[in-house]
């Protein structure tokens, strides 16, 4: 992060002059609890040491100027609804501005330069990191008085209203509330949360991501389609969300819903239980149970929720063959990373084997990242 801070600061001065303040927000991992957030269930994320850094300075101009260092592009836009910028990456920042305004925040225009080191397409939520950086910064610079939960909702509403993704709250929550050395169990219905100390190294394990470097662009909106399936199943159960439903409940309405909706709901009901199992297992340092639940989540996402892909299934199969304690797809799906819980003495052999076998099969070597649990949105 230090190099990125220096680079962003230097470029800001070159383009816009002095006087900027630096802010940062992290990407996230999610140990378990995938697609449960918009179903009112539990998630178990943590912030990581990769994220977005932005240099920002308020101005008296009538337009914001924002330079994306990684894309070497500048976007300009005003703060009214009809002034939405053309560049898709700028929608995240414009949306944050508008959502802060909707909540009574009296903000003005600004100049900004930002950069990130969250691997794009890896399921680590670079978009939430970007939203959280600017939400936190604007709230701080203009004294808007929004609490952390509202800052997370600003990011979520930005996705809904300006980016076309009906996401849950997990990604933005993790980016805002992250705490070094801790994972967070969030109840997405009540918004109650608790920190759980997470130190796998002390018990002989490492947590790492294996990035397949593939991202399948599917027609339509498969993420939103999954959400609609869950909503239909919940409605058949007479509930707003699937949260709290049992398999007996679901089987009772099986004839009222499609087979596809039944499978989607079956995965969600199982995943809610798996999150709680993992939390309980960590409290007794039972990492073997954690790993078992991770595998169950993966194959549920592959077979029932159908958001995996051939490459990710292959990565998990290699992990199983190498005796990795737990492995699963992480993120929304259709590409990106697996998250892996690996015993220290199997780490090197697993990394070597997964890189060699994946390249032999698909002609590209996957990237491996160690996971370091870090702090959330902050002023630097």
Residues designated catalytic? 171
Sign of CA dihedral 88, 92, 95, 97: negative
| Spatial distance between the Cα atoms of 265 and 255, rounded to a whole number of angstroms | 14
Are the C-beta atoms of 212 and 308 separated by less than 8 Å? no
Three-state secondary structure string covering 28-60: EEECCCCCCHHHCCEECEEEEEEEEEEEEEECC
Across the chain, which distance is largest between two alpha carbons, in Å? 65
Residues 6+ apart with CB under 8 A from 143: none
| Spatial distance between the Cα atoms of 293 and 61, rounded to a whole number of angstroms | 53
**DSSP structure class, residue 373:** B
Strand partners, 222: none
The full DSSP string for 155-214 is HHHHIIIII-----SHHHHHHHH-BTTEEEEEETTT--EEEEE--GGGGTEEEEEEEEEE
Angle between helices 148-158 and 88-102 (to 10 degrees): 130
Are the C-beta atoms of 176 and 25 separated by less than 8 Å? yes
Q: What are phi and psi of 44, to 5 degrees?
A: -140, 65
Q: What is the dihedral of CA 229, 232, 237, 243, to 10 degrees?
A: 50
Q: What is the dihedral of CA 367, 371, 377, 380, to 10 degrees?
A: -90
Residue 340: strand, helix, or coil = strand
- How many beta carbons lie within 10 A of that of residue 135, not counting itself? 33
């Amino acid at each position: 992060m230090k190099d990125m801070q220096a680079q962003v600061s230097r470029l800001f001065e070159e383009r816009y002059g002095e006087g900027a303040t630096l802010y940062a927000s992290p990407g996230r991992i999610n140990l378990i609890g995938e697609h449960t957030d918009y179903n009112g269930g539990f998630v178990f994320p943590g912030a990581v040491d990769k994220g977005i850094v932005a240099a920002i300075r308020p101005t008296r101009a009538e337009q914001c100027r924002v330079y994306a260092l990684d894309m070497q592009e500048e976007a300009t836009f005003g703060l009214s609804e009809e002034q939405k910028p053309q560049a898709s990456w700028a929608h995240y920042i414009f949306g944050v501005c508008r959502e802060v305004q909707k909540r009574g925040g009296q903000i003005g225009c600004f100049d900004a330069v930002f950069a990130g080191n969250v691997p794009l397409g890896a399921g680590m939520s670079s978009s939430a990191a970007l939203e959280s950086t600017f939400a936190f910064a604007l709230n701080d610079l203009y004294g808007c008085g929004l609490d952390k939960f509202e800052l997370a909702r600003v990011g979520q509403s930005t996705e809904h209203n300006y980016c076309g993704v009906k996401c849950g709250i997990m990604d933005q929550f993790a980016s805002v509330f992250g705490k070094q050395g801790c994972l967070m169990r969030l109840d997405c219905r009540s918004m109650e949360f608790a920190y759980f100390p997470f130190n796998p190294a002390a018990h002989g394990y490492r947590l790492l991501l294996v990035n397949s470097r593939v991202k399948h662009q599917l027609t339509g909106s498969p993420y939103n389609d999954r959400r609609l399936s869950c909503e239909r199943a919940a409605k058949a159960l007479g509930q707003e969300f699937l949260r709290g439903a049992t398999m007996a409940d679901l089987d009772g309405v099986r004839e009222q819903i499609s087979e596809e909706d039944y499978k989607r709901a079956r995965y969600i009901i199982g995943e809610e239980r798996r999150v709680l199992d993992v939390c309980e297992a960590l409290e007794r340092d039972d990492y073997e149970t954690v790993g078992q639940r991770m595998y169950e989540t993966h194959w549920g996402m592959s077979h029932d929720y159908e958001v995996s892909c051939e490459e990710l299934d292959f990565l998990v199969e290699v992990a199983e063959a190498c005796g990795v304690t737990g492995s699963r797809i992480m993120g929304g799906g259709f590409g990106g990373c697996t998250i892996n819980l690996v015993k220290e003495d199997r780490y090197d052999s697993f990394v070597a084997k997964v890189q060699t076998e994946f390249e032999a099969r698909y002609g590209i070597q996957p990237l491996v990242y160690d996971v370091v649990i870090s702090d959330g949105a902050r002023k630097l």
